[in-house]
Amino acid sequence: MAKIDEIKEILNTLRIWLSLTIGLIVVIVSGLVKRYDNDKIDWVFYAGSFLFFILIFVLLLIIIKISNKTKEIKDL
């Protein structure tokens, strides 16, 4: 497999992970809003909030990786 094909495959995988992470963030935020509206602010709410911030951090890491791989393709 050529180097460019390998980088494109990694880039496609990162894009799939990006989509999954955004989907998880949407689901978690909607669950948090529902719990907040129902006045169910307990450990599940705080655990979801913590997970939300972790996923935002992961999202940023994925975006940085995608940017680096895109620049790597440009250099080839």
CA 36 – CA 25 distance, rounded (Å): 16
**Would you kindly state where each structural domain of the chain is located, as residue ranges?**
13-75
- What mean pLDDT do residues 65-72 have? 92
> What's the pTM value of the predicted model, to 2 decimals?
0.87
Looking at residue 1, what is its pLDDT? 66
Can you give the pLDDT at residue 36?
95
**Is the CA virtual torsion 65, 60, 40, 27 positive or negative?**
negative
pLDDT at 76 over 80: no
Residue 32 tokens read as 């948090």
Asked if pLDDT for residue 74 goes beyond 90, the answer is: no
Residue 14 CB neighbours (<10 A): 19
